[in-house]
Amino acid sequence: MDLDRYKRIILVHKGALGDFLQTWPTILSIVRGVNNKKEIFWAGRQDYFFWLRPLGLKPLPWKLKQCLDKVYTNSCVLKEFEQDVIFWFILKKSPLQDPPENIIFLKGINPGRRVWRTFLNCIQDIGIIVVEDWRDEWNKFFVGDRYNPSRILIFPGSGHRLKNWPLDKFLRLGNKLISMGEKVSFVLGPVERERGLVIEDGFDVIFPRDLRELHEILLLGKLVIGNDSGPMHLAGFNNVPTVSIFGPTDPRIWGPLNARVIRSRYPCAPCTSLIDIKCNEPLCIKEIPYVEVQEIVLDELNKLKRI
């Protein structure tokens, strides 16, 4: 694809934290693969900009962003962007049936393959060179010598309640780890607080004020434990050892980097590549045995002691 013929590049993303992180290797590759004099704009959540500013991206002006948002209801507004090339990150469904050639929808879902790798394959198919050592770049920008593992972090929630292992089992695990002399903190985000999730029994509880603070908290993680969720992906990107529990969603697609994944043994799981979960109370996640999770967590801690 000849990117030089366009005035500027616009990157569009509408998803949650875990989805966004899957786009970062591709965004890096696009930035590295274009003329360094060409402006690249971000049309997405501004609280993700912490991870984009070092790449030289600029926020798309508000009026243009509003105009771009109208594509879902009025494709004629695309006349505003005829001189731009737009890379639009989606998972499956495109908002346009017949997009013009300057709008490239990058689809992230490919059965059996990690989302970040599928996005990279999409740009590779149109001639953009993939930055294979993107993890080194992430580490340089966002980790470096700031990693200070001092505690075990437990994330008992996720963006969808049906992806959550039962809270009482997380609490039992926290008590077990404390009894072994480990420092343990539960981490609750806005979604958990909105749902009224309460951590009792005297546990240390952390409430990150924003995503940047969440990033810094994860750099304290000796081991991070949780469900299929955005913080697990962020922990993986930061190269923090992670134990991630999966039920209805597919770890072959959504498994975090560097994670020890615990999967349900139910024959119906996973039942979705997104979050269109097939049942109201998925036993696949609820009935993952506590003993199995404890055994794997202790095994991971023993590995860390041998390093």
Predicted pLDDT at 196: 86
What pLDDT does residue 275 have?
A: 77
Average pLDDT over residues 259-263: 97
φ and ψ of 12, to 5 deg: -120, 130
Q: What is the pLDDT of residues 155-186, one digit of tens each?
A: 999 999 999 999 999 999 999 999 999 999 99
Lowest mean pLDDT among 93-97, 112-116, 162-166, 256-260: 93-97
Q: State the sign of the Cα–Cα–Cα–Cα dihedral 124, 20, 279, 270.
A: positive
| Domains of the chain by start residue, with CATH | 3-142 (3.40.50), 151-306 (3.40.50.2000)
- Report the alpha-carbon distance of residue 169 to residue 156 in Å, rounded: 9
Please give the pLDDT value at position 130. 96
Question: What does the pLDDT average to over 113-133?
Answer: 96
Q: Tokens standing for 237?
A: 């990107």
pLDDT digits 0-9 by tens, 78-94: 778 888 999 999 998 88
- Per-residue HEC secondary structure of 254-305 comes to HCCCCEEEEECCCCCCCCECCCCCCCCCCHHHHCCCHHHHHHHHHHHHHHHH
Is 147 a residue whose pLDDT tops 80?
yes
Write out the E strands in 5-111.
Answer: 8-13, 40-43, 58-59, 84-90, 103-107
Is the pLDDT confidence value at 76 over 60?
A: no
Backbone angles phi, psi at 97, to 5 degrees: -75, -40
pLDDT one-digit tens code per residue, 205-229: 999 999 999 999 999 999 999 999 9
Name the residue among 133, 112, 143, 131 with its Cα closest to residue 236.
143
Q: Which tokens is 266 given? A: 């139910």
Q: Are 29 and 130 in contact (CB under 8 A)?
A: yes
Rounded distance between C-alpha atoms, residue 76 and residue 51, angstroms: 32
CA separation, residue 197 to residues 39, 155, 165, 285 (Å) = 43, 12, 13, 18
Tokens of 204: 């240390």
